[in-house]
Chain A
Amino acid sequence: MKTNDVILQTTSKVVFFIIILFAIHLFFAGHYHPGGGFVGGLMTSGAIVLLLLAFDIKTVAKGFPIDYKILIGVGLLFAIGTAAGSLIFNVPFFTHVFGDVYLPLFGETSLHTAMLFDLGVYLVVIGVTMTIIQTIGESE
């Protein structure tokens, strides 16, 4: 008994973009407003899980050919690299710097190295969540 999932699939294809945009917004809002790497990562994996529910594992794996286990490693590298970068400048481990940088289009933007650490957290959360879900999903 195969059902026709056309409504679910079309809707999830549209909603996916909205969820991803909201996740990125949460990720960048983390410094001054509620949000941050953890929530953004969970929201992003939530969007991918929605696609997994609407389609099947093989289709989504074709759409995003990412090994999520590698993503965990990359995220941890970001975190440790941000922390270890402070050692080069003779300041204690995990010292963060920030400053106002003029970017084209954005104008005066205050950049903070904590954001790079947050990016690491973001990638690790996506990697861990998706690894757990895919491992459970693939085991018969």
Chain B
Amino acid sequence: MTAITHRYEFVYLFDITNGNPNGDPDAGNLPRLDPETNRGLVTDVCLKRKIRNFVALDKEDAAGYAIYMQEKAVLNNQHLKAYEAVGIEPVDKKLPKEEAKAREITAWMCANFFDVRSFGAVMTTGVNAGQVRGPVQMAFATSIDPVVPLEVSITRMAVTTEKEAEAQSGDNRTMGRKHIIPYGLYRAHGYISARLAERTGFSNEDLELLWRALANMFEHDRSAARGEMAARKLIVFEHESAMGNAPAHVLFDAVKVERAPGADAASPRRYEDYRVRVDTAAVPAGVTVRELM
């Protein structure tokens, strides 16, 4: 596995129709909102979770593509695997004294786990396998326009307990709530450092897999709460050099998401109400723009 040799940035657009992309535990699972602008938010960790889930589905148990932070994964067993593989006794909370051994453990983790290789992991949970800073960095996704969450009341034709049934004298119904956003187009930014990739062995194959995960992850994440989510655009900036050829913010500014002419200005409800443009003139030399979606 040779590491990637270019720096990348990417702009990722996805939308939601009649669903909740990312609930806010502080607000009774209402869709996350930026209180200042009323724009919707989706956290970085939410998107990473979906990438991990996609890779786990796509690769099943292929060697080198295990997922460390799994739902139902046993974290410290993963560390033990590392220790067993290189034959070292774990010492409490400290990396093994000899740096070479410590590196061996970290390298083993990187070689076997896709998410450690791409996002990094802090492996100081009792059994210590070191700390890895991954090459892939993602920021919060924000909706292009303010979103308006709706509260939808729903009824269920059943009750959970005998007691409830008695209280309702046989009219077994309960009310529930769902929070949805009628429509929201979200924009996320990501960064991939070639130099950190060297350290974790994040390869071109991994990069392709990451692009595939971004393009397809909502297809495998259907649920009652999510509504219809879809990846709409993935614009990748490839720098010629590992250190990069242009400031990231300049590249991101070149991607403009505007209202399509003639669209309902007050309340966009479809992806067609938006127009995405890449101002190629604003992209400095040495950077290739690729639209993967």
State whether these chains interact: no
